[in-house]
Amino acid sequence: MHILGISAHYHDSAAVLIQDGITRCAVEEERFTRIKHDNGFPFHAISFCLKSAGIGMQDVDVVAYYEKPLLKFERILETFVETYPRSLRPFLKAVPEWLGDKIKVERTIRRKLAFRGKLFFVPHHYAHAAACFYPSGFAKAAILTLDGVGEYQTTGLWRGDGSKIAPIKSIDFPHSLGLLYSTFTAFLGFRVNDDEYKVMGLAAYGKPIHVNDIHRIIDVKDDGSFCMDMRYFSFRENFGMWSANFEKLFGAPRKPDEEILDRHRDLAASIQRVTEEIYFKILRHLYSLTKYESLCVGGGVALNAVANGKIYGKAPFKNVYILGPSGDSGAALGAALFSCHHLLDFAGRHKIENINLGPAYDDVRVENVLKNSGLAYEKFNTEGKLLYKTASLLAENEVVGWFQGKMEFGPRALGSRSILANPKPAYMKDKVNRIKRRESFRPFAGSILQEKVHEYFNVPEKLLCAPFMNFCFKVGENKKGELAAIVHSDGTCRIQTVNGNDGRYYKLIKAFQKLAGIPCLLNTSFNLRGEPIVENPEQAIADLLKTEMDHLVIGNFLVSKATRRE
């Protein structure tokens, strides 16, 4: 049975194909169009999935869409009526979009994809819940979903049991932890649905001195339920996020090109603190309702790695699973899995610990591209020699673009489309930030051998793996010197555990450990500021040439920018 999952028309459009319950391929549309967070219908991603599986649309049994567009449009109409006449301008702008492709998803699927099979519209938060529960490997689990907004729902508490997911409680729009965080993201001069992780990183440099002020605009109960005072927000009725009352309370907003001041750092620290407070209250309440030891978290808020790293200490759960693409791209997977297991009662669940589900390029294609580039390159006939050479360059403090195998699904580079560096020299953080052309306060993640994680990080004793880079943990005091480039100012690091199932990347870190004595690499996504992660060899070479990156290891080839063929 083939099920095609689709997300589109908000942000991070994606397509996923599962076969008999196994996820075969998954990719975001942005990787092909090169439009970051592309929200268009994912024709390119769908085409890749079908081609990768060697099938056509006539072979697809079910298409699953990640929300109910008519229900979402109903909420928009209700909001307009409630806030009229203030909401007239944004409503008039939104209506043509909604009366076009957004509300006519079924027509697009039936006509443009020529699909004649079953079509399911899965409620948005059900898709988030499915995306984190079904791949977790847990027979039973408490589930929490948190994001900006789906149709109406912004927060969901659930039970997952076998192949079924059951709702327990919910919070609806306009009260939204995701929109609260996004309001501060915009207020601090960053982009909504793009730069929330910058606020998370900036928070470590500030003091949470505005917590009481934030509690004036959101009422939080002991069980984590909350209600926002809409006098301070304007996202229902205009193109902005906050109202004049918000500015009276917190001062003038920062413009995107303005210097970041202590006031901005303190606001970031404060909203991070309040977010965590609400997060953990909800989780403790969820545990009291289910008594399940295992937890799954989904939705865009689940990308807050700083909060995730504190779950084990702040809530009673013993096992936590968060899928790498926990936002809307992952909801395409959730829609497909919900259709498969909950709606169609397919019994064979499969745990997902590796999300290398995108395109790959063989050496023939890579060498053709290299020949046309004018760059000198070296081909290695044995993997061992390639890994030794790459590890040697990293040990010599060279920065290496690493392009290998199938591309990762989701916002994190996990060792297939990565920029790698030695984590020991403190200056390496600034060097790689210059290469990436991003703000100096931004921290980097660490990829560490799974068998060494307890030696370097203060992780829960029972934590076996964290493969998707969704958790920040404290770095051991005696290891900060070895990991100076990836220790954030709060003493934490976002980690990815790497094991033998990660193939060549695991072997590279082992080779680096043998040379440098450190079982960890600085790992960041292979892209420059404002662009999606590279998808093909041409894009990887272009980024090499545009930056101070020293080398590119692509397939079995080593390219050094300093040398060009005569």
Q: What is the mean pLDDT of each run of 10 residues along the chain (566 residues)?
A: 96 96 97 96 98 97 97 90 84 79 93 97 98 97 97 98 97 98 97 93 97 98 98 92 97 95 98 98 98 97 96 95 96 98 92 96 96 94 97 98 98 97 97 93 95 94 85 97 97 96 96 98 96 97 95 97 54
pLDDT recorded at residue 98: 79
> Three-state DSSP class for 556?
coil
Q: The domain 363-564 is classified under which CATH number: 3.40.50.720, 3.10.105.10, 3.90.870.20, 3.40.50.1980?
A: 3.90.870.20
Provide the token pair at 14.
Answer: 């994606």
Kindly give, in sequence order, each residue whose CB lies less than 8 Å from that of residue 288, ignoring residues fewer than 6 positions away: none
The reply to whether 363-564 shares the fold of 177-319 is: no
Chain-centre distance of CA 297, in angstroms? 13
At residue 29's C-alpha, the angle toward residues 26 and 34, to 5°, is: 130
- What is the rounded CA–CA span in Å between residue 375 and residue 382? 22
pLDDT at 464: 67
Tell me, what's the pLDDT at 566?
40
What is the model's pLDDT at position 562? 62
Where residue 86 falls (left for φ over 0; alpha for ψ -120 to 50; beta otherwise) is alpha
Distances (CA, A) of 219 to 214, 223, 227, 271: 9, 12, 5, 14
From the list 63, 68, 62, the residue with the least C-alpha distance to 122 is 68
pLDDT at residue 563, as a whole number: 53
Task: Considering the domain delimited by 177-319, tell me its CATH architecture.
Answer: 2-Layer Sandwich (3.30)
**Residue 414 token pair:** 């996990």
pLDDT at 565: 44
CB 512 within 8 A of CB 504: no
Domain ranges, ordered by start, for the chain: 2-128+323-343, 177-319, 363-564
Specify the DSSP element, H or E, that contains 429.
helix 428-436
Q: Which CA distances in Å does 525 have to 317, 411, 417, 522, 537? A: 31, 8, 6, 10, 15
Distances, alpha carbon 134 to alpha carbons 63, 234, 282, 312, in Å: 18, 37, 21, 21
| Res 388: pLDDT | 98
E strand map for 499-556: 520-525, 551-554
Is CATH 3.30.420.40 correct for 2-128+323-343? yes
